[in-house]
Each structure stands twice: as structure tokens, then as C-alpha cells.
């Protein structure tokens, strides 16, 4: 059984052939870039500040007011909490043998019937912000915390210092889960039929798949 996540679904939607070569066959591996390395540093610094009161590096200190507001919010605060969900939509461990979907919200605060999920973004613009990640994380939060009735979400774009918000309620949960199950079923159908067409675009030059495997590389 395949294991899915927001990033793996997006990888497949971007290019089925790349997904197959990288995620399933594991013949190629995406290499770290300057952008991904910076993103990892930001995530680590924010987590240490929020959970351990470790001072922010000087170049990130301008974001302290936003993080201080987060620290002042009531509830149980988690960073990088590993969440798993089975195919019947019940919660499970991230590494359980029957895990079907995985998610790791950068931030999760649970306060009674309300939860907050957040994700840090290091892109230069929030113009094309994709809140679908917040939707899936909200669903997984409600799955793991049955007392939660509503989930507020936040994408924090640190370069433009912009915040994109979302809001989901428990009565939306069946619709959200059905949507993501549908995304997963498309991938599983491709696996059954063993059809992995390429989706050529301007991003092909960054693809780790070799020219021997893909003519668009």
C-alpha cells in the first residue's frame, strides 16, 4: 500500500513520471538546493524558539513579534508533530505499518475545541499561496483530536512577511477526507496500470530524473 502526504500528492500532480522514478522506484533523489537548505534552517530556528526559547538568529529576529504572538496563544503547542491516518480515516502512528496518509504540521496548537495549524513558507511571494496543505492538516488534526471542532490555519510567508489564513470546521471533515482519498486513488490507479506520463514544463531542468529515463529532461 502506498503512503501519501500533501507533498507526495503535489509531486504526482506536477509530474507522474518524476513521482514514479523518485517516490516509488527510488532511482533518483532530489538534491538539496540553497532554497531548501534555507527553509530547513528557518524551520529549525522557529521550532527551537517556540519550544525551547532559543534566541532567533539575527537575520530572523524581525519575525519574533509574530512568533511571540504564537507563544502567547493558549493550549498545547506542538512543532513538527508526526501524524498518521489509516485508509479508514482513523488516526495512527506516523510509522505504523498500516499508515496511509502522513502529515507533519510545522505548528499545531490544541486548545479545547479549537486548534491552530501553521506552516512556514520561505518563498518570495504569497501571491499563489496554496492552502490545500492547511486543509489536509486540519483534517488530520481533527482525526487525532476528536474534541476539536474547528481549525484555524496560517501560512506564514517570512520573506514578504505575509500571512494567509484558513478556517475549517468538523462538519467539513467528510468532504475533505473524500477529496484527499480521491487524490490518492488516482495515484493508486496509475500504479495498477503502470502508466506514468511526463508533464514537461519549465521545471524539467531542475528534475533529478536522468535524460535516459525522460526525454524532457
Q: Per residue in 119-175, pLDDT tens? A: 999 988 998 899 999 999 999 999 999 999 999 999 999 999 999 999 999 999 999
Residue 32 has a pLDDT of: 84
Give the residues of the chain that fall short of pLDDT 70.
none
Terminal Cα distance for the chain, rounded: 29
From the list 8, 104, 123, 88, the residue with the least C-alpha distance to 47 is 104
Full strand arrangement of the beta sheet holding 150-157: 76-78, 107-111, 114-121, 150-157, 162-169
The pTM (predicted TM-score) of the whole model is: 0.92
Helices (H) and strands (E) in the chain, counts: 6, 8
Residue 110 has a pLDDT of: 98
Amino acid at each position: 500500500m502506498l503512503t501519501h502526504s500533501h507533498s507526495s500528492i503535489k509531486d504526482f500532480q506536477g509530474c507522474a513520471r518524476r513521482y514514479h522514478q523518485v517516490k516509488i522506484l527510488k532511482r533518483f533523489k532530489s538534491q538539496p538546493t540553497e532554497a531548501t537548505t534555507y527553509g530547513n534552517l528557518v524551520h529549525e530556528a522557529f521550532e527551537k524558539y517556540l519550544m525551547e526559547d532559543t534566541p532567533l538568529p539575527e537575520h530572523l529576529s524581525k519575525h519574533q513579534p509574530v512568533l511571540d504572538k504564537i507563544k502567547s496563544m493558549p493550549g498545547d503547542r506542538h512543532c513538527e508533530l508526526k501524524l498518521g491516518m489509516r485508509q479508514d480515516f482513523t488516526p495512527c502512528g506516523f510509522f505504523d505499518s498500516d499508515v496511509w496518509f502522513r502529515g507533519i504540521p510545522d505548528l499545531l496548537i490544541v486548545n479545547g475545541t479549537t486548534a491552530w495549524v501553521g506552516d512556514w513558507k520561505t518563498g518570495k511571494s504569497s501571491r499563489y499561496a496554496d492552502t490545500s496543505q492547511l486543509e489536509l492538516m486540519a483534517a488530520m488534526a481533527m482525526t487525532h483530536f476528536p474534541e476539536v471542532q474547528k481549525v484555524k490555519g496560517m501560512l506564514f510567508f517570512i520573506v514578504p512577511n505575509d500571512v494567509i489564513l484558513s478556517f475549517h470546521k468538523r462538519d467539513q471533515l467528510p468532504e475533505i477526507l473524500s477529496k484527499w482519498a480521491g487524490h490518492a486513488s488516482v495515484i493508486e490507479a496509475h500504479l495498477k496500470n503502470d502508466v506514468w506520463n511526463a508533464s514537461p514544463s519549465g521545471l524539467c531542468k531542475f528534475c533529478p530524473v536522468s535524460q535516459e529515463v525522460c526525454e524532457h529532461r
